């Protein structure tokens, strides 16, 4: 089996106020996997994500991406390889047009001309926004802005796409459209979410984080059917939703 594309080993973290957030997290994600990171409010999910691209550093333990330690020396390469789509697309869109926003990252990598144009087109097409390259991001709907935020990350051709609450604030149609888009992408995914039906649809594996520790990790159908685990960590499926009624998502991982 090849080295994991994401690896956290014994990761501890506390914010400057001393509040401990991660208490010895071990997590391996292999290429091709789609993993949901679940857990109650305050479990440490966003804190964990911020360790993947070096915004936060562990007090103890190691984080590595595609075999590279997340440290000062490897930061640029790590940030190319892990693309994080934050919850608010407006944190990621700041250029006058959609096309310029999507071009921003690859341009910083040195791409120019036809190569840059092709990269932008491909990323916008992947999220169904190819027709909108010349529009101003602030003229788009929230759902369209979230898709463009995904495209800004895809344009970097990351090894891992990390999504923080991808379905939040989307109407049902936009939620479904984004699920279809994510389902078609051929990239390793780590998705932080409270939307458990989304997880059943998109992620074959689920990891449960609670009070800064991994307390569950397994096939999504099994994790969500574990009533004791779910109740202990404030995870609730919509009323009447039976995780066993959804066929388990299976994907071949390239290991
Ligand atoms: N900048 C900060 N300074 C101090 N404490 C923080 C900071 N950011 C988060 N925390 C605390 O760290 C803990 C973990 O927060 P985090 O945002 O990682 O949780 P989460 O699992 O992503 O929660 P949610 O599901 O609500 O988004 C919480 O107790 C939170 O109050």
pLDDT of residue 240: 78
Ligand 1 pocket: which of 8, 12, 40, 44 to mutate (most atoms <8 Å of CB)?
44
Strands (E), the chain: 6-14, 20-29, 34-38, 60-65, 68-69, 82-85, 160-164, 188-192, 205-210, 213-219
pLDDT of residue 254: 42
- Closest C-alpha to ligand 1, atom 30: 42
CB atoms within 10 A of CB 54: 19
The pLDDT confidence band at residue 244, using thresholds 50, 70 and 90, is confident
Flag whether pLDDT at 1 surpasses 90.
Answer: no
Residue 120 CA to ligand 1 center (angstroms) comes to: 34
Flag whether pLDDT at 248 surpasses 80.
Answer: no
The pLDDT confidence band at residue 197, using thresholds 50, 70 and 90, is very high
Task: Of 151, 174, 185, 172, give the one whose Cα is nearest residue 33.
Answer: 185
The pLDDT confidence band at residue 239, using thresholds 50, 70 and 90, is confident
Report how far residue 23's alpha carbon sits from residue 207's, in angstroms, rounded to the nearest whole number.
Answer: 15
Phi, psi (rounded to 5 degrees) for 4: -65, 150
> Pick the residue with more confidence: 246 or 30?
30
Residue 143 CA to ligand 1 center (angstroms) comes to: 25
The pLDDT confidence band at residue 252, using thresholds 50, 70 and 90, is very low
Count how many Cα atoms sit within 13 Å of the Cα of residue 228 in the half-sphere of its side chain. 1
For 227-236, write each residue's pLDDT tens digit. 999 999 999 8
Cβ-contact 34, 202 below 8 angstroms? yes
Task: Of 234, 189, 198, give the one whose Cα is nearest residue 216.
Answer: 234
The percentage of the chain sitting over the pLDDT mark of 70, rounded to a whole number, equals 95
Provide the β-strand partners of residue 188: 160
Please state, rounded to an integer, the average pLDDT across all residues of the chain. Answer: 93
The pLDDT confidence band at residue 237, using thresholds 50, 70 and 90, is confident
For the chain, the domains span 4-90+160-245
Q: Provide mean pLDDT across the span 160-185.
A: 95
Q: Provide mean pLDDT across the span 174-180.
A: 94
Residue 43 CA to ligand 1 center (angstroms) comes to: 7
For 70-111, write each residue's pLDDT tens digit. 999 999 999 999 999 999 999 999 999 999 999 999 999 999
The pLDDT confidence band at residue 56, using thresholds 50, 70 and 90, is very high
The first and second tokens of residue 199, run together, are: 């997880």
Fold adopted by 4-90+160-245: Rossmann fold (3.40.50)
The pTM score is 0.94
Ligand 1 atom at minimal distance to the Cα of residue 212: 14
pLDDT of residue 253: 46
> Pick the residue with more confidence: 127 or 237?
127
Q: Is the CB of 39 under 6 A from ligand 1?
A: yes
């Amino acid at each position: 089996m090849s080295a994991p594309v994401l690896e956290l080993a014994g990761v501890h973290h506390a914010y400057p106020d001393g509040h401990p957030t991660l208490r010895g997290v071990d997590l391996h994600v292999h290429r091709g996997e789609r993993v949901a990171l679940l857990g109650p409010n305050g479990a440490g999910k966003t804190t964990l994500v911020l360790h993947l691209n070096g915004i936060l550093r562990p007090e103890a333990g190691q984080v590595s991406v595609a075999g590279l330690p997340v440290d000062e020396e490897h930061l640029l390469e790590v940030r190319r390889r892990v693309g994080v789509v934050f919850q608010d697309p407006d944190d990621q869109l700041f250029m006058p047009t959609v096309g310029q926003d999507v071009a921003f990252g690859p341009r910083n990598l040195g791409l120019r001309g036809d190569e840059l144009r092709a990269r932008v087109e491909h990323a916008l097409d992947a999220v169904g926004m190819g027709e909108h390259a010349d529009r101003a991001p602030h003229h788009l709907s929230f759902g369209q802005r979230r898709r463009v935020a995904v495209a800004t990350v895809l344009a970097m051709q990351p090894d891992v796409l990390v999504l923080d609450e991808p379905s939040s604030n989307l109407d049902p149609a936009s939620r479904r459209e984004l699920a279809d888009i994510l389902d078609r992408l051929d990239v390793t995914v780590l998705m932080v979410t409270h939307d458990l039906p989304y997880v059943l649809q998109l992620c074959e594996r689920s990891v449960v984080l609670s009070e800064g520790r991994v307390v569950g990790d397994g096939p999504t159908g099994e994790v969500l059917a574990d009533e004791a685990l779910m109740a202990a960590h404030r995870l609730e499926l919509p009323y009447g939703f039976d995780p066993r009624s959804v066929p388990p998502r299976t994907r071949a991982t390239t290991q």
